[in-house]
Amino acid sequence: MSRTEWSRSGLSAAQVLPLVVLLAVAAAPLVVSEFSVTLMNYIGLASLVALGCSLLTGVGGLTSFGQAAFVGVGAYTTAVLTTQYEWSPWLTLPVALVLAIVIALLLAAITLRLSGHFLPVGTIAWGISLYYLFANVAGLGGQTGITGVPPLTLGEHVLNSGREFYYLIWICVVIAVISVRNLLDSRPGRAIRALRAGGAMAESCGVDTGHYRVVIFVYAAVLACVSGWLYAHLIRFVNPSPFSLNLSIEYLFMAVVGGASHVWGAVVGATVLTVLKQWLQDLLPRLIHSSGNYETIVFGMLMVLLLQRARSGLMPLIARVLPIDRKVQVPAVLADATGSAVTPLAQRVRPAAGESLLEVREVVKRFGGLIAVNRVSFEMQTGEILGLIGPNGAGKSTMFNLITGVLEPSSGQVWLRGERIDRLASRRIAERGIARTFQHVQIRPLMSVIENVAIGAHLRRGGSVVGAALRLDRETERALLAEAQRQLIRVGLGDQMFNQAGSLSLGAQRLLEVARALCADPMLLLLDEPAAGLRYQEKRALADLLRGLRDEGVSVLLVEHDMDFVMTLVDRLVVMQFGEKIASGNPAQVQSDPAVIEAYLGGIE
Amino acid sequence: MDVQVALLLTQDGLTNGAIYALLALAIVLVFVVTRVLWVPQGEFVSYGALTLASLQLGKVPGTVWLLACAGIATFVVDAIVAWRDRRSALAVRSGLSNLLVPAVIVGFALWLAPRNPPLLVQILLTVALIVPLGAMVYRLAFQPLQRASVLVLLIVSVAVHFTMQGLGLVFFGPEGARTPPFTDVRLELGFMTVSGQSLIVIGASLLLIVGLYLFFERTLYGKALRATAVNRTGARLVGISATLAGKLTFTLAALIGAISGVLIAPIATIYYDSGFLIGLKGFVGSVVGAIVSYPLAALGAILVGMLESFGSFYASALKEVIVFTSLLPVLIWLSLRTRHAEEDDEE
C-alpha cells in the first residue's frame, strides 16, 4: 500500500511516470479512433466530478449525493443562456459557477452543522428535486431537453470536434488535479485533512472545522459545475437524465474506486467505471436478452466488495506495481530546499510571572444523572506548573474539556486573564493561548509527523484556500514548517519528522502532541498524561522540557498518574476524587493530607 | 378546492402516509441498531408489490429465483468462512437457514403459483418469499463491516440499492404492475365516501405498528434489539451478538417492506425501480425525527403523504420537488437545535 495520503512525487522514476502518462494523453487523439476519443472525453468530464467527490468523501469524510445535480447546474445554465438569450458561452461559465457556489453554500449552511449523515440526506433531496425541476419546467425543455447549444469558440476557431474538445477537457482535469494537490499540501490543506479525525483535535488547534467543511463542499460543487458546462458545449444538447441521483451515486463510486490515497485516484476511478460501464452496457443485455441498466448490479457488488476488502481503493494496488513514490510526503517547501530566509512566526507577548492566569470557579458538569465535576475551583498563576491528580474517573479529563471548550459547564465559570471563556468555542479558546494534548492520542496516522505538528501552528499565519491552490503561500509554508521542525527537535522527535505519524510508538505520539501544542505558541499548556508510555530517560527529558517552558513563561496544567514524575516537577497540586476537589497545595502538603491518603490507599475500616 | 376534494386528498394522503410511516419506522430501526442509513428499504416494497402481482396472474414470481440465488450465495460465503475457520456448525446452520428454508419456500411457491390460491395465501407467500432476503442482505453486505463508520455503511447501503434495483429489473422485467383492489367496498360517512382499500391500508399499518411495539416491549429479542440500539458494546458484553441483532433487524425491515409492497400494489402501478422513490419518502419522514425517533418518524411520514397528495392537486408535475424540498425546512429546524456537529470516524 502507498504509505502516503496524496503524495507528491519524490523519486526520479516517480517524476518520469506522470510525464510519460501526460505525453500519452496528449498524443492519444492523434492515433486512436473517434469512439475512443469520445470515451476519453467522458472520462475527463467524470474525473472532474469524481475529484470533487474524492476531496469531499475520501479526504474530508463528507458525502454528497448531489454532485450530478451540480453538473446539471453548469450544463443547464449555459444551455439556457446561450440558446434563449444568445449569450457567449464564455460569459455563462462565471454565472454558472456563482449559481453553483450559492447553492452549495445554502446546502452547507443547512446541513453541515448537523452530524455527518445529514449532508448526504440533504443532497439526495436536492439532487432529486433538481432532476424533477429540469424535467418539468417548461423553460428548461422538459424531458426532451434543450437542443442547439452552440459550440465553444477560441477567437475565430470553433471547437466542434471531439478531438479538439479533448484538449480543453484534459487541460481542465490537469489544472484541477494540480490545484487540489497544491491545496492539500498547505496550511488550509492540513486543516482539511484533519477533519476526519473528528472535530476536537482540529478545533483545539484553532481550526474552524465548519468553515473547511463548507470550503471542500463548495470546491467539489465548482468542479462539478465546470464539468457540466464543458459537457453542454461538447454534446451541444442537454436533457435531465445525465443529472439524476443515479449519476451522483456513480460519481461517488468513482471516488471510492480510486481511493483518496492519491490525487490521481479520482482519474483512475473515473476511467475504470466509465470503461467498465461502456463494456457492461454492451455485454449484459446480450447475456440477459433484454435491454436495461444492468451494469448497476455489477457496480453495486463491486462497491460492496471494495469497501469490505480494499477500503482505500484501487490506487494503492496500482501504486504497488508502478514507480509511484511510496515515501511519506516531504512537504514541498522542505523538499525544494531553496534555503531562502524564513521569517519566523510572530510570538505572543507572554504575561509576567506571578500574574493570575486561569481561574476555575465553582465549575459543575453533569452528564444526565452523573455529576462528573462538582463545584471545583482552583487558580493558576503565570509561570507555574500545576498538577491535577486523582484516581481514575475523578473528572480530570472532563475538567480539561471544560477549560478548553470541548464541553460547556453545567454551572460555574472559567476565566482566563480576566476574560470569561467558558461559553467560548474550542477554537476561540485556542486563539487566546491555551493549547492541549489528549488522553487518547488524536493524530492523523497517515500524515507525516511534521505535517501533524504543523496543524498546531494553524492560527499563527493566515492564507486563503485559493492562494494555497495557486501556490502563493510558499513563504507561509516555510515559516510554519520551520516552526514545526523546531518544536519537533525540541521534544526529541527531530529524526522522525518525515515518518508516518501512525508508525510512531505511543509514547512518541504523545510527544508529537506536545510538539503540536507548542506550535500554537501557548501561554497555558494542558497536558493529559503526557508521560504515559515513555521510558525513564524520555520522562526525564520531558520533565526538563516542561521546566524549560516554565522558565520561558509558559504555564503548564498537567494530568498524570506517574507520581514520581508529578511530585518532582510541579509547583502545586490539585487533587480530585469522584468529581470533587479534595485537596490542594504543594507536593509535600498534598502527600501528607489525610483525605488524599485515603483516596489513594483506601481508608481503615 | 371544496371540502369534498380536500377530504378526498386527505384520505389519499393518509393512505400513502401510512405506508411511508411503515417504511420510516423500518429505516429508524435499521439506523439505531446497525448505524446503516437504509436506502434500499424501497426495493423490498417493489419486490413485494411485483411478487403479489405475478401471483395474481398465476405466474411464478421472479422473487422465487432471486431467493434461490441469494440463498446459495449466502451459503457459499458462510461455507468459505466455515472452512477457513474450521467451524462446521456454522456451515450446518447456514445450510438450514439459507438453503433448506428457502428451498421449502421456493418449492411451495412453484407448486402454488399456477393454482391461483386465495388472496390471503398469495399475500403470505409473497411475504415468505421476501422476508428471508433481509438477513441474506445483511450477511452478504453489512456483517463484514460491523465496525465501519456511518459514512462507509452509507456508501455500501447505496451500493446495495444499486444491486437490488438492477436485480429487480432482471427478475421482474421492465413492465409495471398494479393489482386489483382488495375490496370494492365503499363506506358512506356523512357527505364523504371512504374506500375500503384505504381503510385496509391504514388498518394494516396500525396493526403492524402495534405488533412491532409489542415485539419491542414484550419479547426478549425485541428487548435485545433495543439494548443494542442504546449501547452496542454494552449489549455485546451481556451476550447479544451484533450479528444476531443485525440479521434480526434486517429481517424485520424486509417484513415491513414486503407488507408495504402488498399494501401499495393496488394503489399505484409499481415498476422495478418505483421502490426507490417510495423508500426515500419514508426516509424524508424519518428525518423529521432525526432518524432516531419512532413517533416523530411516523408523524413525518404522514406529513409527507399529505404534502404529496395536496402537492399533486396543485402542481402535479412538481409533487416530487415539493416533497423533497420539504426536507430543507426540517433540516434547518434540526440544525438550529443542534449545538455541535459530532463525528465519529475511524480509519
Quote the pLDDT of residue B51: 96
Segment A412-428 mean pLDDT = 93
- Multiple choice CATH, A12-327, 1.10.3470, 3.30.70, 1.10.20, 1.20.1070: 1.10.3470
CATH superfamily of A357-601: P-loop containing nucleotide triphosphate hydrolases (3.40.50.300)
Option in A61, A116, A294 nearest B169 (CB): A294
Q: Is pLDDT above 80 for B5?
A: yes
Q: Chain A interface, mutation test: which of B343, B344, B345, most A Cβ atoms within 10 Å?
A: B343
Q: What is the pLDDT of residues A103-132, one digit of tens each?
A: 999 988 888 777 667 888 888 888 899 999
Residue of B163, B338, B344 with shortest CB distance to A300 = B163
Residue of A nearest to B150 (CA): A117
8 Å CB contact of B335 and A115: no
Name, in order, each residue with C-beta under 8 angstroms of A14's C-beta and a sequence gap of 6 or more.
A323, A324, A325
Nearest CB neighbour to B347, from listed A125, A307, A445: A445
pLDDT band at A311 (very low <50, low <70, confident <90, very high): confident
Tell me how far CA of residue A142 lies from CA of A20, A138, A239, B291, in angstroms: 45, 6, 8, 34
CB atoms within 10 A of CB A552: 10
Sign of the CA dihedral running B105, B106, B109, B110: negative
Q: Over range A521-532, report the average pLDDT.
A: 92
pLDDT, position A116: 67
- Tell me, what's the ipTM? 0.90
Contact A132 B321 (CB under 8 A): yes
Least confident of A341-355, A361-375, B150-164, B214-228: A341-355
**pLDDT at residue A321, rounded to an integer:** 76
Given a cut of 80, is residue A319 above it in pLDDT?
Answer: no
Give A111's contacts in chain B (Cβ within 8 Å). 331, 335
Least confident segment among A200-214, A331-345, A393-407, A454-468: A331-345
pLDDT value for A261: 76
Q: How confident is the model at residue B342 (pLDDT cuts 50, 70, 90)?
A: very low
CB B261 within 8 A of CB B270: yes
Q: What is the mean pLDDT of residues A482-502?
A: 91
Q: Which pLDDT score is estimated for B339?
A: 54
Model pLDDT, residue A337: 47
Whether the predicted pLDDT of A95 surpasses 90: yes
Q: Which residue in A125, A293, A294 is closest to B324 by CB distance?
A: A125
Above 60 in pLDDT, residue B145?
yes
Range A314-323 average pLDDT? 76
Least confident interval from A242-251, A581-590, B88-97, B232-241 = B232-241
Query: Are the C-beta atoms of A314 and A258 separated by less than 8 Å?
Result: yes
Q: How far is B161 from chain A (nearest CA, A)?
A: 7
| Cβ atoms of residues B49 and B236 within 8 Å | no
pLDDT of residue A28: 86
Give Cβ neighbours of residue A161 (< 8 Å, ≥ 6 apart): none
Q: Where in chain A is the domain with CATH 1.10.3470?
A: 12-327
* pLDDT tens, position by position, A549-593: 898 889 999 999 888 899 999 999 999 999 999 999 999 898 888
Residue A525, SS3 per DSSP: strand
pLDDT, position A260: 79
> Which pLDDT score is estimated for A336?
54
- Contact check, Cβ <8 Å, A61/B343: yes
The DSSP-derived string for A60-108 is T----S-HHHHHHHHHHHHHHHHHHS---HHHHHHHHHHHHHHHHHHHH
C-alpha–C-alpha distance, residues A406 and A401, integer Å: 5
Residues of chain A above pLDDT 70, percent? 93
> What distance in Å separates residue A153's CA from the closest CA in chain B?
36
| Cα–Cα distance for residue pair B121/A397, rounded to 1 Å | 61
Distance from CA of A320 to the nearest CA of B (A): 20
Q: Is the pLDDT of residue B287 over 50?
A: yes
Of B141, B170, B331, the CB nearest to A111: B331
Q: Would you say residue B43 has pLDDT above 90?
A: yes
Q: What is the mean pLDDT of chain B?
A: 89
Contact B338 A256 (CB under 8 A): no
**CB spacing of A136 vs B140 below 8 angstroms:** no
CB contact set of B114 (below 8 Å; sequence gap of 6+): B58, B60
Q: What is the pLDDT of residue A334?
A: 65
Helix (H) or strand (E) holding A250: helix A245-258
Give the SS3 label for residue A122: helix
Q: What residues of A are in contact with residue B338 (Cβ under 8 Å)? A: 113-115
Average pLDDT of chain A, as a whole number = 88
CA pair distance A193, A331, nearest whole angstrom = 14
Burial A63-95 (b: 16+ CB within 10 A, else e): bbbbbbbbbbbbbbbbbbbbbeeebebeebbeb
Nearest to A520 by CA among A451, A438, A430, A385: A430
Cβ of A122 within 8 Å of Cβ of B327? The answer is yes
Tell me the shortest Cα–Cα distance from B137 to chain A, in angstroms.
11
- pLDDT class of A484 with cuts at 50, 70, 90: very high
pLDDT at residue A324, rounded to an integer: 57
* Chain A residues close to B325, C-beta within 8 Å: 125, 129
* Total number of residues shown for chain A: 605
The alpha carbon of residue B10 is apart from the nearest alpha carbon of chain A, in Å, by 23
How do residues A366-415 score in pLDDT, each as one tens digit? Answer: 988 889 999 999 999 998 999 999 888 888 999 999 999 999 999 999 99
- 8 Å CB contact between A383 and A350: no
More confident residue, B284 or B232: B284
Q: Confidence band (pLDDT; 50, 70, 90) for A49?
A: very high
Q: Are A554 and A525 in contact (CB under 8 A)?
A: yes
**Rg for chain B (alpha carbons), in Å?**
20
Cβ burial, residue A561 (10 Å; 0-12/13-18/19+): middle
CB pairs under 8 A between A and B: 156
How close B86 comes to chain A (CA, Å)? Answer: 21
> Among partner residues B156, B162, B341, which is closest to A307 by beta-carbon distance?
B156
**Nearest residue of B to residue A112 by CA position?**
B341
Contacts of A288 in chain B (CB under 8 A): 170
